[in-house]
Structure 1
Amino acid sequence: MGSGHMPIGRRERAKQDKRERIMTAARELFGEHGVGSVTTQQVARRADVAIGTLYLYASTKAELLIMVQNQKFAAAIDSGLAAADAAAGQGALEPVIALIRPVVECVREHTENGRTYLHELLFGDPAEPYRQAGLALAGRLEDGVTSLLTRDEHVGAADAATLARVITAIIHISTTATVHLHRSNEAVLADIRDQIHATLAPHHRSA
């Protein structure tokens, strides 16, 4: 019996191949030079496609960056959720830190690219498909934090959702603020840990 999946046609395979070549070229060039020093023409040249073809997949350099960073962001969240599950039973703080550690490392892997990515998600057109996907990932991270906080007997479900928004704001500021750029990932994570601990402390004191 067949697998039930329709075979992919030659035209669709060609489109997927071009998209992957564009993604690979953009990822390499952004990693080598930073988004600010790369042009869409350079990406098209390395991907071996016409500039008009590239614009069929991403109409701006910002969209190219979001395409690339969305993949990395999704992988970081997957890794963080797995680490958080492994840290279960250690209260709320340690699993939350386990979840956000790969996210912090992802954003700070190349600080210019990470800062630009988050800026584009926040201030770009939310109806643009790649931004929609990125915002959905941000929502997935927030939901993950919410779920971990609800395991804390001192934090109610409504408070958990609010606290998760506060914590994601802490992550955003701590990973993108210019004053923190010189700091190591471990130093940034330690600072984030302190802020989250202080945020959760009133709930524990009132219990």
Structure 2
Amino acid sequence: MPLAHQPAGRRERNKQAKLDRITAAARELFAEHGVDDVTTQQIADKADIGTGTLFLYVKSKGELLLLVQNAAYAEALEQGRAAAELIADPLEAVLAIIRPVVECNRKQVENGRTYLREMVFGDLGEPHHRDAIAIVAQTEQAVAAVLGRDTRLHAGQAMTLAHIVSAVMFLSMAAHPGTAPEVDDIVQDISAQLVVLLRR
């Protein structure tokens, strides 16, 4: 007979409470000032912990940004998946998946660009980096599922196209240094490229 789920002990609850405070403090400070203008000391102070304690949970400010942003990106992906289910046209369905991700990325342009950089160049051994890469994989799986509606494509082809779509999306989001283009402009840029890719 399986054991009943045991409630978390006091130590685990305290650890989770500290992590929640750290995440909330970082989210607020990053949104208000941008990741580059926030120090780990400010985050620790706002979370009411020591800087040494902060580094028990994350090794760097970039890793902290991944922690904060991953949940928002996962939520954006779920919104996109739900929207895509209601759209028959494959290109429009793919764009429905992509749009909320672009919107999430552009809420704070500096943070969005830093998040993309951390995803590409971050420490593969860090759990929040692994979580970010997992969200990318889930996005590609969602796109592949849409493309797989075309019976002329086998699963491997749909997945290969989804990898290309992912690259187009991330490059389009990162390709505007020093500017903050509207979400519609970025989605239109992605759409123009995907028309060539998907409507052959």
TM-score, structure 1 normalization: 0.91
Amino acid at match of 2:196: A
What residue in structure 2 maps to residue 118 of structure 1? 116
Q: Aligned equivalents of 2:150 and 2:168: distance in 1?
A: 20
What is the identity, as a one-letter code, of the residue corresponding to 1:185? V
Q: Deviations over 1:150-178 (max 9, x none)?
A: 00234332221111111111111111112
Instruction: Please give the alpha-carbon distance, in whole angstroms, between the structure 1 residues aligned to 2:16 and 2:86.
Output: 36
Matched residue type, 1:181: T
State the Cα distance separating 1:61 from its structure 2 match: 0.6
1:37 is matched with which residue?
Answer: 37
The residue aligned with 1:183 is: 181
Deviates more, 1:159-168 or 1:175-184: 175-184
Deviation of 1:5 (Å): 2.0
SS at match of 2:85: helix
Q: Which moved more, 1:94-103 or 1:175-184?
A: 175-184
The code of the aligned residue for 1:41 comes to Q
- Residues 4-53 of structure 1: CA distance to partner in whole angstroms, max 9, x if unpaired? 32112111111111000000000000000000000000000001111111
2:66 aligns to what?
Answer: 66
Give the residue type in structure 2 aligned to 1:22.
I
How far apart, CA to CA, are the structure 2 residues paired with 1:187 and 1:178?
A: 11
TM superposition score normalised by structure 2: 0.94
Is the 1:22–1:47 contact (alpha carbons within 8 Å) kept by the matching residues of 2?
Answer: yes
Q: Deviations over 1:114-134 (max 9, x none)?
A: 111111111122122111111
Larger displacement relative to structure 2 (155-164 or 8-17): 155-164
Structure 2 match to 1:155:
153
Equivalent AA in structure 2 for residue 66 of structure 1:
L
Aligned to 1:9: 9
Q: 2:98 corresponds to which residue?
A: 100
SS at match of 1:86: coil
Distance 2:60 2:14 in 1: 22
> 1:75 maps to what in 2?
75
Q: Report deviation, 1:179.
A: 5.5
**What is the root-mean-square deviation in Å for CA atoms of aligned residues?**
1.5
Structure 2 equivalent of residue 205 of structure 1: none
The SS at the match of 2:199 is helix
Counterpart for residue 19 of structure 1: 19
Partner of 1:171: 169
- Equivalent residue letter for 1:163: L
Structure 2, unaligned stretches of length 5 or more?
none
Shift of 1:109: 1.0
Q: Which amino acid aligns with 1:105?
A: E
Number of residue pairs matched by the alignment: 198
Match of 2:136 among 131, 135, 138: 138
Distance across 2 between alignment mates of 1:112 and 1:177: 13
Separation (CA, whole Å) in 1 of partners of 2:18 and 2:178 = 38
Q: 1:44 to 1:19 in 2, by over 3 A?
A: same
- What is the alpha-carbon distance in structure 2 between the residues aligned to residue 14 and residue 62 of structure 1? 24
